[in-house]
Structure formats: structure tokens, C-alpha cells
Structure 1
Amino acid sequence: MARFNHRGTRPAAGSPVTTTGERTRTHEGASALLRDARSELFLLSVAHTVGTDTFYEKAAERDDRFTTLVRQLAVEDPTWTSELLGWLRRDGNMRSASLVGAAEFVKARLDAAPAAGAAVGDGAPGSNRSVIDSVLQRADEPGELLGYWTGRYGRRLPKPVKRGIADAVRRLYDERSLLKYDTDSRSYRFGDVLELVHAAPHPDKPWQGELFRHAIDRRHGRGDAVPPQLRTLARRASLMALPVEERRGALHDPAKREGFAAAGMTWEALAGWLQGPLDKDAWEAVIPSMGLMALVRNLRNFDQAGVSDEVAARIAARLADAEEVRRSRMFPFRFWAAYQAAPSLRWGHALEQALNHSLAQVPVLSGRTLILVDRSPSMFPGYGYSTPNRSDIPLAEQAAVFGAALAARAQAPTLVEFGQSSRRIDVPRGASVLRLVEGFGQIPGTDIPSAVRRHYAGHDRVVVVTDEQTRPGWLPSNCHGYGDGMPETLIDDLVPKRVPVYMWNMAGYREAALPSGGGNRHALGGLTDAAFRMIPLLDAGRDAHWPWEPARD
């Protein structure tokens, strides 16, 4: 009788998020494992909204855990940490966490040794300077980083911070960004940043010297005269000179409407210019120059203003454009949020197309797949903590979008929502992801083992989308609570070792409900294409690596 060479045998595959074997307990009291420092930081990074309470962690506690891990690994493993931070802002699209991480990376390296990183040339990949530069991807972020640094460590700026910010300023500052982000609401205006870091104009941008001088003049109240080389600023100044009572009439002048885009007029700026709400004419004037994210966030406003079907059709065409969706770098659940907020039938199909484009890397899973989606209270904002999560899209909704996307593309899916109890959701052939998500509810408690026990029936793989903070598993028929002497049921024991189990961690908590890193037990994190690509790799017995590392054969 064959013990090892039997049908279904596959090579053992390794994955990067690894548990150490050290035991702990979940926040709900179930047996759990700790992860190594790199794995803990990665899962926390891709879920971390700085300064925000979560169900089980206060903001200060969570922020401290994040900065402690960054500072530890900045010294112990600076190459890996610098690569994480660059990827986190670029592909992970996590803004605040990457800015804080870069600042703490540099501070820890300088505290460890003033010459830390001397082996890496200033500005080379992995240097303190390049890490600062790598996380600054939008023109308001140099000021954001300065605000964090000076608020935490004072006004003295180390050279790597100054030089990294200066590199980013030369790359990011232009006329449109000055108009959009250089406002009185910012503590550090563009002029302040320039005076602090002494950024020189980029040699390939001859207009940048005039822009820098004008930004400093604006900051000190002497920027009324716009240099003629700065044409976008000059066009905006011309629009601002128009009397307020004549501005709505200008919306009907084709020449002036076409000039809005040339003047860098965003929809927010247009509302300020009109000094009142945007009506149908105003929206239709600015829609052609709006980015996809701004369009998606304003679909309900377009309906309320009565935007024409012709204009709506052009918006829908942009939502259906796969390349435009890719360039927008929007998280898929943003399209679900727009679908909820703007229930007009004219947006539904376009949002479904946009969502599918944003989920292009979700694999088509062969065979039978059990997909368990956590709908317990800890996945929703406002339960059990005083300051609700500021995100307008709770973890439960994000989990439902990804679980539904996997189910809609799988060959034979079993889609289940669970809390303390569980319920199967029907997945018809050709199912709409948006319609599937509408079918989810909310279930008290968190019991992953019981959901696995109830629904696992020889599936080829199991995917659990959750925050991992399960209660100890029990049999509902003969268990009435904790402390009754029943042995604890572990998730790992409920699925044969030859069957892969993928624990998709949504919240970045420290405690792991499942061993991971090998043995067909894997933890995934981050809502990016890179995470989705790991499943078929691991299914095929091929090692998966950190998402910024190149694919290997």
C-alpha cells in the first residue's frame, strides 16, 4: 500500500508569512501562534490605518506595535524593511503607514549608529535617503512627512530626511499640485518645505525654479504676481479675477469651460470658485477633467444634480476601461462602496466592470473550494471601541468583496458567511460580485473551527477571509460556553494536511489562528494582485515570496 506516492500528492511549498511555534491566545481566548517579526510587520502594514482604533487594539497600542517592529527590523534587516516600505506605498497603496514607517526606519538607523547605512551610498536603493524618497508619491506627502517628523522628534532634520524629501519635491512639485495642495489648511506649505530642505530645481524642468520661487513668495504673502512661465497658475488667476456674480454664467461659455482643465480646476476648487453647490452645469463642466476616483466618489451627486445620460455614458465608459481602472490604483471595495451609495441603475453595470478590472488577478480556482468569510462584529466598525474606524468601508465589506470575487471565478465554490453560526450563500454560474456581496449579513460571535467543521466536505482547498480572532471551537449541540471541560478544537486539525488552507488576514493582529509558512498552511495579507497570485503558486507546490520580489521558477 502506497503511503507517500498517491494521487493528489503535491510538492511541499513555502510561503513568506511564517509562524514561530510559540503559543499564545487570540483576543477571544482560542489557542494561537505568534509570527516572526517580518511576518507580523507585513500583515500589520497592509492593514494599518495610523491613529485609528480597531476592535481589539486602541490606536496608540497599535501604532506603537507598528513603529516598534519597523525600528527593530530597520536595524536587524534594513534591506527587507526598505523594500517593504517602498512596496507598501507604491503597490500596497498604504499612505500613512508607509510615511510613518520611513520616518521610523531612518530614526532607528541613526540612533543605532550615526553612520548606519554607510555601506550603502547616499541615495542608492536601501539608503536612508532613498527610503524617504520612495514613500513620497503625492505632492502633499513631503509636508505630511515633515509634520510627522517634527511633531515626534522636533524641528532638527537629519540630512537623509532633508535629501530624501528634496528628491521627492523635484519629482512631485508642479503647478497643478501647487494649486491642489498648497492651502492655508496645511501646517507645512510648499514654501515651508522648500525652505527647510533646500531642494534645487530639476535640470530637466526649466520652469521649476520659477515655481519654487513663487511657492515661497505665496507662503510669505507676496505671491500675487504670477510669473508668465507658469501658465496654469496664470489661467487660474484669470478665472479668480472674474466677479463672483458672473461665474455661473461662465459655465455656459464653451471657451471658459474648456479653460477649467487648463487652469487645474478640480471639482473641489470649482465649488469654491462658484461659492456654492455644484449644479448640473457645473458638474458637466468639470467631469471631463476629473480622475476616476473623484468620479466614483461623486456618482450619487451626479444623480442628484441631474447630470445628463450622455455625460453619464461617458463616465460609464471610463469605468469600463481596464487600463484606466488599473492606473487609478483604487482598491476593489471602493467600487462596492460606490454601488451602495449610488443605487441608480445607470451605474450598476459599469461599476461591476470596474470591480472586475480591479480584480483581474483573482485566480480561477479549479476543483472544489471552500471560502469562509468572517461577518462577526469585530469586522464591523463601531463595536466594542470608543472611536469607530474612520474607514467608510468596514473590514467585513472588504472581506465580502474578496470572498465573493474568489467564489464567482472558482470552478466549484462553497461560499459561506460565518460568525458564531454560519450560512451558505448560493453562487450561480456567471454571478455578479456586487450582487453576491449584497447577500451577506452580520452574525454575532467568531467561531472559525465550527464553520470549518460544518462546511468542509473533501474540498480541494479552504480559504478563510477573517481577522483570525476566533473563539475556541465547540460543538453547538453540547457546549454551552467556556470552562465546561471540553477539549479545544483547532482549525489545523479539521482539514487533512494534504489540503491547502489559506488564512487571509484582514486586520493585522499579532495572534495567528493557524500555523503558516509551509505544510499546506499559509497566511496571506494585503488587498493587492500580488496576494491573489500566491494561491495558484502554492496550489501547484511552488514557493511564494514577498510581493515585491520577482517571480521565481
Structure 2
Amino acid sequence: MARFNTRGAGPHGTSRVTSTGRMLRTHEGGRGTERDARSELFLLSIANFVAQQTFYEDGTARDDRFARLVRRLAVEDPEWTAGLLAWLRGEGNMRTAALVGAAEYVKARLDAGATDGPSNRQVIASVLRRPDEPGELLGYWTATYGRALPKPVKRGVADAVRRLYHGKSLLKYDTSSKGYRFGDILNLVHAAPDPDKPWQGELFRYALDRRHNPDTAVPPDAVPVLAAHRALMELPVAERRAVVTAPDGPERLAAAGITWEALAGWLQGPMDKAAWEAVIPSMGAMALVRNLRNFDEAGVSDKVARRVAAKISDPAEVARSRQFPFRYLAAYQHAPSLRWAYPLEQALGHSLANVPALPGRTLILVDRSGSMWDRLSERSELNRADAAAIFGSALALRAESAELVQFGTTSSSLTCRPGESVLKVLERFGSLGGTDTTKAVRRFYRGHDRVLIVTDEQYTYHAQGDPTEQIPADVPVYTWNLAGYRAGHGASGGPNRHVFGGLSDAAFRMVPLLERGRDADWPWVA
């Protein structure tokens, strides 16, 4: 009888999300496992819309847990924490969590007098990727810790300002609705212009002037977009509609940095067919996706609609927009016209580019219990149940041989036909009450080569034991956590037991690596 040369004899990769061995209770009363601080912060970070309620944690409690973990690890493990925050704002695409985390990182290290690891200034600059984010970070800092700004915060923000401020960003983000205007930020952090950008000095002077002397501020000619914008602003209202309908109207609007949000105010009239068709060429892919209903209501032509469809379904545009897959599902559900259905289906498919084509037999379990129906954020109509269904369906459709199962109090197998649309598979999912992960595993596991569970890991007290213990130790189990709660449903970190997380498909890139015996490091570690 073979003792060592068995199916599980190959090298086993390990993942970084690890358990401490301490047993906890999940929010639903089931037995759970505690994760170490780095693992807990990682999973919480990539699922946390700051200040948003979740099914089991209110926004304040969740944010407090996030801040405590960042402050602790900023002192104990600054290299790892700084890497997490930069990745979180970049590839992780979690904007607010990264800004809050950077502020808490700096505060903790200043309080502790810590000087090792990445500098505070560097961490602040690393999370500021959009021109409105210096103001967002300063707003969080002053609301939480008062108006006194430490030097590292000032210097990090100043570094970002030199990189991010330009003519179009000033027109788009420097508005009266903001507590911190561009001029306020320049005053607070004493940002000097970048010497490699000779026009930036005039831009900074204009930002200060329009903040403190708005009636007399004159846009500089050295910044062409501001000069073009000034020319359009000076046009009498009666002549503005002619710009929109002119053959070169789209080019003039784009050169002047007129966004779709600003166009109606400039026209002082409705966003009709002509207005939309003039501004659509300069709109980004996600702005187009958000306005599909408006295009239909205004009656934009089929010719323009085809251009919109081509842009929103272009793989490069989807990758550039860095949107989570469920954004396209939301657009699909709310777009009134069928002419958008196929482009959105294509875009959703492109947004799932990292989902691997798994060989062999795969069991995919998708959590459809009550806690999964909590909205992803207060501004989103989408929920974790639909996000889980998207990922589970994509995995099933790409796998060589997959059984797709939805589970809650009960469980059932769902049909997936080769070549079928993810959106069609989604229509077969339902709502299944409580959470009995263990029962679903026992019912459907039949010698599969791997098991993937997409869930919030909050199974009920009715379930008996760790769900992953029902699966042989030599069979890989991948849990994708969509909520970031403290307790997990099973142990992780050892061979064949892996936990990922987040609202994008990026984590699935690790599955083929792990199955080839490669260790899966943190995403920001080369």
C-alpha cells in the first residue's frame, strides 16, 4: 500500500491568511477560528467601505476595528502595513479605506515615536492617486485629530499635489461643495510647484486666487484648458447651445474640460439629445455606464449608441476603469434598453479576466444566506449575494467540469451550460435563509479535485463543526471571504486550506499558483 506516493504527495503551496488556533464564535453563533492580525486586517481592508453598515457590524464598530488593526501593525510591522495601504489604493481599488489607513498609520507611529520602516511621508503620498484625495485625507485627519497637521502629513500631501494638480483636475474637483479647496490645501501644506512643470506655478497661483478672490481671479493662458474654459464661460447664454450643435462642438467641450456633470449648468438648459451627443466622446467608460438610462431617455442616435457600446465593452477600457464586476451587473439591471445588454455582458466578462480555467472536477459553493443580502455599501443597490453569484458563476463556466451549488439553510445544484452568459446563470440563484455550510459540503462533495466557497463565513450554530473538515486534507479548499468579519468558518494558512477575499477577481490568480506548489504571498510582494 502506498504511504507517501499518493494524490496529495506533490508540493503544497501555502497562502498568507492564517489562523491563530484560537476558537471564536461567528456572529451567527457558529464555531469560528481567529485569524492573526495581518490576516484579519487584510480581509477587512479589501471588503470595507468605510462608514458603511454591514449585516453584523455597524459602520462605527467596523471602522474602529480597522483603525485599531492599522495602528497596531503600523508600529509592529510597518513594512507590511505600508505595502498593504499602497496596494489597497492601487490594485485593490479601495479608496477610502486606504486614505483612512494611511492617516491612522502616521498617527500611530508619531504617538509611538517609531522611525523604522517606510517613512510617514511616503505612506501618505502612496495612497493619494486622484486629485480630490488630498482634500479627502485632510478632511479625515482634521475631523479625527484636529487642525494641527504633522510635518509628514503636510509633506506627503505636498508630494501628491505636485503630481496630481493640473488644469482639468482643478475644473473638475475644485468646487464650492468641498470643505478643502485646492487653494486651502496649497496654503496648509506649503506645496511648491514641480520645477519640471513650468505651467504649474501659474496654476497654483490661480487656485489660490480663485479661492480668496473669486471675483477677480483670471485663468492663466499658460494652462490651455483653463484658457479654453474661460472662453466658453464668457459666451452669452444665448450663444452656448450653438457650440453644442456645431460640428466641432465635442472637440471644444473636451478642450475646455467641460464634463457631463457641468454641461447642463453651463447651458442653463436640459441635457437633451444634442447635449449628450456632444459630450459623450469625452466621457470615460464608467461615466458612460452610469448614464445609459439618461442616453435612452434623451433619445441618442443608434450611431452614437454603437460608439458607447464599443467603448464600455472594450477590454482595455474595462481594465483601465478598474471597476468591480458587480458595477456592470448593476448597470445591466437598471438599463432600460436592450441595446446595452450585450455590451454590458461583454464588459462583465472582461472584468473577470483573472478567473482561471480550472482543470478536473470543481465544487463551487455560493452563499445565499440572509447575511449575504446586505448591500455592499449604502450607495449601492448590489449586495454580497449577487457579488458571490457573479464569481461563482464565472468560475463554474470556465472550469473544465464544475458543480455550482447555492446554499443557505437548504442547498441546491444549479445548471451551467458551456458558453452560457454569466448574467443568465445569475437568474437561477435564490434567497436561502440561514447558513448551513457544513450541510451543503456534506451533501455535494463527491471526490472533487478542489472546493471553492464564496461566502461571508458566518455559518449558524445549527451547522456542526468546521465545514472544511468535511473535505479530505489532501483536497484544496479555497474560501473567498466577501465581508471581512473577524471570525472565519475554518482554519487557514496550512497546506490545502486557503482564504482569499475582496470584491474583485484578483485573488483567483493565486489558485493555479497554489496548485502548482507555489506559495502565494501577499499581493504587493513581488
TM bin (shorter chain): over 0.9
Q: How does 1:303-342 map to 2 (within 5 A)?
A: 303-342=296-335
Aligned-residue Cα RMSD (Å) equals 1.5
1:468 corresponds in structure 2 to: 457
CA contact (8 A) 2:288 2:312 kept: no
1:441 corresponds in structure 2 to: 430
2:281 corresponds in structure 1 to: 288
1:32 corresponds in structure 2 to: 32
Name the CA distance, whole Å, in 2 between partners of 1:374 and 1:343: 29
Give unpaired runs (5+ residues) of structure 1. Answer: 121-125, 475-487
2:172 corresponds in structure 1 to: 180
Q: Deviations over 1:175-230 (max 9, x none)?
A: 00000000010000000000000111111111000000000011113453222112
Name the CA distance, whole Å, in 2 between partners of 1:102 and 1:247: 44
- Asked if 1:214 corresponds to 2:214, the answer is no
Q: Deviations over 1:305-361 (max 9, x none)?
A: 111111111112112321121111111111111111114222222122212222111
Q: Deviations over 1:35-93 (max 9, x none)?
A: 00000000000011111110000111101000000000000000000000000001101
2:149 corresponds in structure 1 to: 157
Indicate the larger mover: 251-260 or 288-297.
Answer: 251-260
Indicate the larger mover: 432-441 or 66-75.
Answer: 432-441
Residue type of the alignment partner of 1:144: E
CA contact (8 A) 1:33 1:514 kept: yes
2:372 corresponds in structure 1 to: 379
Residue type of the alignment partner of 2:104: E
Q: Deviations over 1:280-301 (max 9, x none)?
A: 1111100000001101111121
- Asked if 1:538 corresponds to 2:477, the answer is no
Post-superposition offset of 1:263: 0.5
CA contact (8 A) 2:28 2:458 kept: yes
State the SS of the aligned residue for 2:392. Answer: helix
CA contact (8 A) 1:450 1:473 kept: no
Post-superposition offset of 1:492: 2.4
- Asked if 1:232 corresponds to 2:225, the answer is yes
Name the CA distance, whole Å, in 1 between partners of 2:461 and 2:497: 19
Indicate the larger mover: 533-542 or 37-46.
Answer: 533-542
Post-superposition offset of 1:473: 4.4
Name the CA distance, whole Å, in 2 between partners of 1:245 and 1:339: 38
Q: Deviations over 1:216-262 (max 9, x none)?
A: 01111345322211221121122122233333343211233320000
2:493 corresponds in structure 1 to: 517
Name the CA distance, whole Å, in 2 between partners of 1:378 and 1:529: 21
Q: 1:130 aligns with which of 122, 126, 135?
A: 122
CA contact (8 A) 1:91 1:528 kept: no
Q: Deviations over 1:88-115 (max 9, x none)?
A: 00110101100000000000000001xx
Name the CA distance, whole Å, in 1 between partners of 2:512 and 2:377: 36
Q: Deviations over 1:392-418 (max 9, x none)?
A: 321111111111111110111111111
2:84 corresponds in structure 1 to: 84
Name the CA distance, whole Å, in 2 between partners of 1:526 and 1:263: 38
Residue type of the alignment partner of 2:392: G
State the SS of the aligned residue for 1:254. Answer: coil
Go from structure 1 to structure 2 and tell me whether the alpha carbon gap of 1:75 and 1:344 turns closer, same or farther (over 3 Å shift).
Answer: same
1:493 corresponds in structure 2 to: 469
Indicate the larger mover: 191-200 or 353-362.
Answer: 353-362
Equivalent residues, number? 525
Q: TM-score, normalised by structure 2?
A: 0.97
Name the CA distance, whole Å, in 1 between partners of 2:400 and 2:14: 25
Residue type of the alignment partner of 1:399: A
CA contact (8 A) 2:219 2:227 kept: yes
Name the CA distance, whole Å, in 1 between partners of 2:27 and 2:175: 43
Q: How does 1:399-414 map to 2 (within 5 A)?
A: 399-414=388-403
Q: Deviations over 1:404-457 (max 9, x none)?
A: 111110111111111111121100011111211222222211111111111111
Q: Deviations over 1:528-552 (max 9, x none)?
A: 45411111112222211101112xx
Residue type of the alignment partner of 1:449: T
Name the CA distance, whole Å, in 1 between partners of 2:238 and 2:454: 55
2:348 corresponds in structure 1 to: 355
CA contact (8 A) 2:8 2:475 kept: no
Residue type of the alignment partner of 1:372: L
Post-superposition offset of 1:388: 7.3
Name the CA distance, whole Å, in 2 between partners of 1:369 and 1:86: 34
Name the CA distance, whole Å, in 2 between partners of 1:443 and 1:317: 38
1:189 corresponds in structure 2 to: 181
CA contact (8 A) 1:86 1:98 kept: yes
Name the CA distance, whole Å, in 2 between partners of 1:152 and 1:466: 33
1:6 corresponds in structure 2 to: 6
Q: TM-score, normalised by structure 1?
A: 0.92
Name the CA distance, whole Å, in 2 between partners of 1:390 and 1:32: 30
Name the CA distance, whole Å, in 1 between partners of 2:255 and 2:373: 43
Name the CA distance, whole Å, in 2 between partners of 1:371 and 1:535: 13
Give unpaired runs (5+ residues) of structure 2. Answer: none
Residue type of the alignment partner of 1:6: T
State the SS of the aligned residue for 2:148. Answer: coil
1:503 corresponds in structure 2 to: 479
Go from structure 1 to structure 2 and tell me whether the alpha carbon gap of 1:255 and 1:434 turns closer, same or farther (over 3 Å shift).
Answer: same
Aligned-residue identity in percent: 64
Indicate the larger mover: 4-13 or 519-528.
Answer: 4-13
State the SS of the aligned residue for 1:48. Answer: coil
1:94 corresponds in structure 2 to: 94
Name the CA distance, whole Å, in 1 between partners of 2:130 and 2:350: 24
- Asked if 1:425 corresponds to 2:402, the answer is no
Indicate the larger mover: 231-240 or 425-434.
Answer: 231-240
CA contact (8 A) 2:325 2:352 kept: yes
Q: 2:238 aligns with which of 223, 242, 245?
A: 245
State the SS of the aligned residue for 2:33. Answer: strand
- Asked if 1:69 corresponds to 2:69, the answer is yes
Indicate the larger mover: 417-426 or 192-201.
Answer: 417-426
CA contact (8 A) 1:266 1:290 kept: yes
State the SS of the aligned residue for 2:14. Answer: coil
State the SS of the aligned residue for 2:452. Answer: strand
Q: 1:395 aligns with which of 384, 389, 402?
A: 384
CA contact (8 A) 1:449 1:473 kept: no
Name the CA distance, whole Å, in 2 between partners of 1:25 and 1:276: 58
State the SS of the aligned residue for 2:195. Answer: coil
